[in-house]
Amino acid sequence: MKNILLRLAKGQRPLRAVLARQVLKRFPLLSYADRLNFGYDFVERPHYAHCIFHAAKLAHSLKYPKMSVIEFGCGGGKGLINAESHITEVMKIFPVEIELYGFDLGSGLPQPKDYRDMPYYFRHGLYKMDRTSLEKKLTRAKLVIGAVEDTCATFFKDYDPAPVGCIFHDLDFYSSTRAALKLQDAQSSRFLPRVLMYFDDIIGNNEAWLCSEFTGERLAIQEFNRDHDMRKISQDYYLPTKYPSQSWVEHMYVYHDFAHPNYNDFVADEEQNLHQRDIALG
């Protein structure tokens, strides 16, 4: 049965492929690792799965016993709950303890500061959190509630988290995203040398949104790169070639700290061995 579903899922007939994928998602015919290897469309929120899995893999390669995951902009909390499920699975694969932190104002979006926050699309109060209800559902995540410019300024002192391995950005505004990126001005030891990052609001999903390089998250990323010589945020250029039909890959970035003491440590034994094998096979 599993092999039949896998063949259908790979097929060119859209309806059969979609149905096969839905069955494989809902029933444990494949292990978590197998689902990721076969394709990230077999898990919920594949961008969360990718970031958490590969950050933990990097942490394990570098012999970090712990790492942290951060979500900026939690809203109703579905992302945090999903992240917890992925963390549970990933910790079965890699011997890395994973902490999870969710940053949110709690009362919904703040007042837009100027045109760069796209007030024509986002308004004050959207995406309010029911904190009491959410905290009852969480098993691992810690909520960091308050204005992001304040919580980022004291986060490492207040929580002393494990080194950060991946960050999900969903704060909508330019001003909030720019404030969140200031977290990465902390000393290198607070992060893995490369941090997997997802930016939710760089493309949009309708004709009213109209994202641009001059507003929102894209502008915040550009300004971070402009202001830092040895710390840069770059798109992940490989994923769109591996998963050309999946839109989430266009949101994937990587933070590079070129001066990090572990940045140059070799971590590609598995990948290079596969490459050498392919060369040998012609």
In the chain, domain spans: 47-280
Q: How many CB atoms lie within 10 A of CB 224?
A: 19
Q: Assess whether pLDDT exceeds 90 at residue 113.
A: yes
Strand order in the sheet with 66-72: 142-145, 97-104, 66-72, 164-169, 191-199, 252-257, 231-235
Q: Assess whether pLDDT exceeds 60 at residue 1.
A: no
Please give the C-alpha separations between residue 9 and each of 20, 21, 45, 240, in angstroms, as whole numbers.
Answer: 5, 6, 18, 19
User: Which pair of tokens denotes residue 168?
Assistant: 């999900």
Please give the C-alpha separations between residue 174 and each of 21, 109, 179, in angstroms, as whole numbers.
Answer: 36, 12, 9
- For 47-280, CATH gives 3.40.50.150
Looking at residue 13, its pLDDT comes to 47
pTM to 2 decimals? 0.89
Please give the C-alpha separations between residue 205 and each of 45, 202, 210, 248, in angstroms, as whole numbers.
Answer: 16, 10, 9, 12
pLDDT band with cut points at 50, 70 and 90 for residue 64: very high
pLDDT in tens, 65-88: 999 999 999 999 999 999 999 999
Looking at residue 12, its pLDDT comes to 45
Average confidence (pLDDT) over 31-59: 89
Average confidence (pLDDT) over 185-191: 98
Q: Assess whether pLDDT exceeds 90 at residue 4.
A: no
User: Which pair of tokens denotes residue 275?
Assistant: 């490459």
Average confidence (pLDDT) over 200-217: 96
Q: Assess whether pLDDT exceeds 60 at residue 105.
A: yes
Q: Using CA atoms, how far apart are residues 105 and 196, in angstroms rounded to an integer? A: 23
Q: Assess whether pLDDT exceeds 80 at residue 6.
A: no
Q: Considering the chain, what is the average pLDDT of its residues?
A: 91
pLDDT band with cut points at 50, 70 and 90 for residue 33: confident
Average confidence (pLDDT) over 18-40: 70
Contact 167, 72 (CB under 8 A): yes
Average confidence (pLDDT) over 120-143: 96
